[in-house]
């Protein structure tokens, strides 16, 4: 069944992208083996189009597509810090949602007869004390808002990847190599199956401004 689905996708994309059978096959192989793929070629060779057409046919996989530029920053790719989690005495509500004792106390309070005011006061006091304890232990830890960004994507396509600036280069290399991203001491595992990237040209490593891209180039073509 999987083989039939793969062949159907390849046939569909080959019907609309002329003379790119080898590229389309490589895209499929990358997805099946959880590897990354870099496509290099002149403008007008349908690199981006072929990758995007295959990606759109993979159902259930969250995509992330971005055209890189010198202005691209980490927030555009990986998300931003939720500043409210840095306010003293504040913390991410997910701390309470994940704590079994807090949830048990809350459930007990919700099931309690409203007329039982004495027990309600006791439970409310316990909840308040436990909440303060949790926030004291876990509060002021930064939380990343990663909705629709790389930390939540399964198939990522970064077009014109060599246009990235040195500000995001190290983070991007860590994500590609180790499938993890660290910001403000918080490390997130990246669920991405395959990273796809494309470029029309190779950086000029004799140019001091582009020399910094060599590690990225070495990783992509290895």
Listed by start position, the domains of the chain span 2-81+152-221, 87-138
Tens-place pLDDT, residues 89-148? 665 677 778 888 888 888 888 888 888 888 888 888 888 888 878 777 766 667 788 899
Beta strands in 48-161 (DSSP E): 63-67, 80-81, 144-145, 155-159
pTM: 0.75
Q: Note whether 193 and 155 are within 8 A (CB).
A: yes
1.10.3230.20, 3.20.20.110, 3.40.50.1400, 3.40.50.300: CATH of 2-81+152-221: 3.40.50.300
| Angle formed at CA 154 by CA 149 and CA 156, multiple of 5 degrees | 65
Lowest mean pLDDT among 7-11, 72-76, 84-88, 193-197: 84-88
């Amino acid at each position: 069944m999987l083989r039939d689905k793969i062949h159907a996708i390849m046939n569909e994309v080959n019907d609309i992208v002329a003379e790119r059978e080898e590229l389309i096959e490589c895209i499929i192989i990358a997805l099946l083996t959880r590897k990354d793929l870099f496509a290099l070629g002149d403008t007008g060779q349908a690199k981006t189009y072929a990758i995007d057409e295959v990606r759109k046919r993979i159902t259930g996989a969250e995509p992330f597509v971005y055209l890189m530029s010198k202005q691209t920053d980490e927030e555009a790719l990986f998300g931003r810090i939720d500043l409210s989690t840095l306010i003293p005495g504040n913390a991410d509500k997910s701390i309470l949602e994940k704590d079994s004792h807090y949830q048990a106390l809350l459930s007990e309070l919700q099931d309690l007869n409203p007329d039982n005011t004495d027990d309600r006061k006791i439970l409310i006091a316990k909840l308040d004390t436990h909440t303060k304890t949790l926030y004291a232990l876990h509060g002021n830890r930064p939380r990343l808002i990663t909705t629709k960004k790389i930390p939540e994507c399964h198939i990522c396509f970064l077009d014109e990847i060599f246009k990235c600036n040195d500000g995001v280069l190290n983070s991007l290399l860590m994500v590609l190599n180790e499938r993890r991203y660290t910001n403000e001491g918080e490390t997130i595992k990246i669920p991405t199956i395959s990273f796809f990237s494309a470029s029309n040209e190779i950086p000029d490593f004799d140019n001091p401004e582009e020399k910094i891209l060599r590690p990225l180039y070495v990783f992509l073509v290895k």
